[in-house]
Structure 1
């Protein structure tokens, strides 16, 4: 009997969202291989061959050795950065990291016939906020007025004319203080008088604030949309108060559903976590789409339904191909 082709889960060890998907795949007896590229080359070994038949070979972890040509699907979550062996430093280490990224990373992005959720290159393209904003407008989503600038005077003018306004980071990178403690830059309202020469030091994003009655997180898994109304946030950024909020599954308006599917198609995504602000008139104001957003913090049965949809995509990729 031929062993079923495995699902490759590319992520770090501490990933609660991936954990529950792996548990569901295990429950279904679907073979899973978990791989963190950050473990390469310390505990991951690769042998890949290319000939007239294409890409073949295997990746060996501490416990698994999947054949490259037999990977059924790839769940690309949140792997650690590529690294060099600890004894290598300076330019040599940077060279090793680049070779790992373009070598192992290129192999993982070129697995023959594998179904990706999402392909890492599609994730990367969809993470740029300016591209997100342009695509959202083009797809018919309601987007608040937005300014991208490093000009302090222009930033103050925008906030005065379109205030109240908020500031949000263009990318949620790892950020620590001098003691190494993790820091988060939250979405928050800004006062024009607070905008000084620091604005000129890099790119900033300012956006018209939506007077909302609730937030909405819409998780798209292929053709399935799971819209969750979020009530009870005491501040602008509801992500600061997960445990204080109420979550309710709601229907997605047809025009929003159509625009969301168009948006996914623009970037070639099979998954996306969309954030909206809901105003008193019932309008959904689009804020952003995280192509790799989490969902494990939702209560049941919401988490279970999203998990099942993802497991379906990974277990039965042939049902999800056009």
Structure 2
């Protein structure tokens, strides 16, 4: 039942994900068959998915308007940016919520259990690895330097923590939750916070406070299996993502110690791909900030983007031996 060398690559993503196209062009040049599916929406737009289970037997088929895929012949699955399981566009209320839930557990469950497929990354591992507390704990266990961090809904403890950090403290959200102010979408950026700014409103939910790293620059390290691609980021902002037009990027070597710890982190989290963010001090110490298991990467310099795309294509074509 394992996927053979001639099996297809199944790509799970939304139709507007242009980053995927960079890798798909490489696979097309290599004549690797690819089926692209958005599991959150395509089953409501003509795609059909079936799976059969029994003692000693498992089979299934995916039919789209243009393709038919034997689910036992999938060599790899690339979990990129699929749409959420929101249900069919027609019904509303309880019916739509029921259909959305059944799709998540049915379609999502089938696609996460394909026999012999190599996942980049497995969707369940992706979800587990998105929790920032788990990221910090895994980074510590993997030997990475981690800034002193407090996650709490106790505002007195939060104030005390801020006062204890002589170099300052930053606040960052635990998840990039959509946030509206007067009906307008806002992004909650990483920012420095002072003790007197912390109020009893902290009790509403957990907050993440972290000792500010006296950094010389940032690093984005993209890991694809055992291949590491890092760029130094120089930005006038504490959070370089805020105004990317003002930042400068250049390839940078990864210290051996950091590389070994990144490999340990991926293995502990069951990941093939990870986008790691580091703050690097003037003394050259790399401090782990977070790892996005499905982070964007095509914004980097062309040479780096091309190398990452080829590494991903190798993984999807050849599996863990890539």
Report the TM-score, using the length of structure 1 for normalisation: 0.94
RMSD: 1.7
1:54 Cα deviation from its structure 2 partner: 3.4
Q: Which runs of 5+ in 2 are unaligned?
A: none
Please give the per-residue CA displacement for 1:251-310, whole angstroms capped at 9, x wherever unaligned. Answer: 111111111111111111111011000110000011011111110101210100010000
Matched, 1:147 2:125: no
Q: Which runs of 5+ in 1 are unaligned?
A: none
Map of 2:316 onto structure 1: 314
Equivalent position SS for 1:57: strand
Equivalent position SS for 2:114: coil
Matched, 1:219 2:226: no
8 Å contact from structure 2 (residues 222, 274) kept in 1: yes
Q: Give the 3 Å change call, closer, same or farther, for CA 21–97 of structure 1 in structure 2.
A: same
* Mapping 1:158-177, distance limit 5 Å: 158-162=161-165, 163-177=167-181
Please give the per-residue CA displacement for 1:102-128, whole angstroms capped at 9, x wherever unaligned. Answer: 100000000111100000011111111
8 Å contact from structure 1 (residues 40, 82) kept in 2: no
Pick the aligned partner of 1:240 from 239, 242, 248.
242
8 Å contact from structure 2 (residues 236, 247) kept in 1: no
- Higher strand share goes to which structure? 2
8 Å contact from structure 2 (residues 250, 301) kept in 1: no
Map of 1:36 onto structure 2: 38
Q: 2 CA distance for matches of 1:56 and 1:172?
A: 38
Q: Which moved more, 1:247-256 or 1:117-126?
A: 247-256
Report the TM-score, using the length of structure 2 for normalisation: 0.94
8 Å contact from structure 1 (residues 55, 111) kept in 2: no
Map of 1:138 onto structure 2: 141
Map of 1:263 onto structure 2: 265
* Mapping 1:53-202, distance limit 5 Å: 53-162=56-165, 163-177=167-181, 179=183, 181-202=184-205
Q: 2 CA distance for matches of 1:86 and 1:177?
A: 28
1:177 Cα deviation from its structure 2 partner: 4.7
